[in-house]
Amino acid sequence: MRRADDTAFRWNGELLVTLHDRIMAGRYNRGAGRIRTDEPGFVINRATGAPVFLPPEGEHVPNLVDEACSRMEEGHPHPGIAAGWIHVAAAAVHPIRDGNGRAARVGASLSMYRGAFKRSEFTSLEEWWGRHLEDYYGMFECLGARFEREANVTPFIEAHQAQLHQVRALDNREKVERQIWTALEEAAEDAYLHRRLVIALWDVFFGREVTAGYYRSLADVSPATATNDLAAAASSGLVVAKGQRRGRRYFAGDRLFELVASAVFVEISGPQEVARAVIVSELSRRLTLV
């Protein structure tokens, strides 16, 4: 993650060597941090012990690693596709003595992170593949029995669907959330409230209660300012206060949903739970039509 956020980030052989060294916890006797150049590589079926794939000879590995990194530097149409490609490419080249599977999956995760999909469910395949091992190993059948530079890895990338589906869902969700955030900013502006209150409006819109202490920690304001902000929001009808003094909690007001729905051109009716669901589902539906 530290490397991924570096402004000077580049896909190169040294990056992969460094990652592998960390993956193998620096165990030099198992090839940590070294590209395979003089050792044969092979892939076996863990269930049967039989060899299932013959990687390229060691003398070709450094150049193949450089080619793979150059292809990643050129870019792909989507981070999900890039993740699938580096995953299968690293597995095919099998550039290290041990830990190739882990290194390939870390490469895929790194690609997702670099593509701005930074939540853990989108930067780690381990949990999903762990529950679908047979399917996972079957994905590599497109490589054939031995390394071929021109192998068609499209089936692998298509089978990378677990992550691709997650990515599409996250992409759409983030777009919906951005639209809702913008609508909340407009609601605050219409009610002559400070823009910092949007962070509280966001929580109550999604059904969470807000206290003065919680809001204060988010907005980084004084206790008096936090109390005054929330009181102003309550006076505007965007939130509703319940309880007294330290026990006071703030919840969404009906006017909040009315303003958000108006801002995104969605018709709503019924209780807040229904209104929220209608707004989110309608915004999501529109994205599928784009």
Domain membership flag for residue 8: no
**Do both 67 and 204 map to the same domain?**
no
Q: What is the CATH number of the domain that holds 259?
A: 1.10.10.10
pLDDT 10s per residue in the chain (290 long)? 777 888 889 999 888 888 888 888 878 777 777 888 877 677 776 667 777 889 999 899 999 999 999 999 999 988 889 999 999 999 999 988 888 888 898 899 899 889 888 776 666 677 667 777 788 888 888 999 999 989 999 999 888 866 666 667 777 888 899 999 999 999 999 999 999 999 999 999 999 999 999 999 999 999 999 999 999 999 999 999 999 888 899 999 999 999 999 999 999 999 999 999 999 999 999 987 76
Domain membership flag for residue 217: yes
**Do both 250 and 176 map to the same domain?**
yes
**Do both 77 and 173 map to the same domain?**
no
**Do both 119 and 201 map to the same domain?**
no
**Do both 237 and 212 map to the same domain?**
yes
Give the residue among 75, 80, 93 at the shortest CA–CA distance from 125: 80
**Do both 113 and 204 map to the same domain?**
no
State how many domains the chain has: 2
Q: What is the CATH number of the domain that holds 56?
A: 1.10.3290.10
Domain membership flag for residue 121: yes
pLDDT value, residue 58: 86
pLDDT value, residue 37: 82
Query: How many Cβ atoms sit within 10 Å of the Cβ of residue 28?
Result: 10
Domain membership flag for residue 3: no
Pairing outcome for strands 249-252 and 51-53:
unpaired
- As a whole number of angstroms, the distance between CA 243 and CA 41 comes to 68
Question: Which of 125, 159, 193 corresponds to the end of one domain?
Answer: 159
**Do both 176 and 57 map to the same domain?**
no
**Do both 79 and 113 map to the same domain?**
yes
Q: How far is CA 234 from CA 18, 189, 209, 244, 271, in A?
A: 54, 14, 13, 14, 19
**Contacting residues for 34 by C-beta, under 8 A, at least 6 apart:** 17, 28, 96, 97
Query: How many Cβ atoms sit within 10 Å of the Cβ of residue 199?
Result: 15
**Do both 116 and 176 map to the same domain?**
no
Give the residue among 288, 290, 196, 214 at the shortest CA–CA distance from 251: 214
10 Å CB burial of residue 248 (0-12, 13-18, 19+) is: middle
**Do both 134 and 185 map to the same domain?**
no
DSSP of 184-206: HHHHHHHTT--GGGHHHHHHHHT
**Do both 116 and 99 map to the same domain?**
yes
- Give me the domain span that covers residue 105: 13-159
Question: Which of 136, 159, 182 corresponds to the end of one domain?
Answer: 159
Domain membership flag for residue 5: no
pLDDT value, residue 38: 78
Question: Which of 103, 136, 159 corresponds to the end of one domain?
Answer: 159
Structure token digits, residue 277: 């669901």
Q: How far is CA 91 from CA 19, 25, 82, 137, in A?
A: 15, 20, 14, 11
Whole-structure pTM value: 0.59
**Do both 105 and 145 map to the same domain?**
yes
Residue 208 host element (H or E): none
Terminal-to-terminal C-alpha distance of the chain:
33
CA angle 272-273-275, nearest 5°? 60
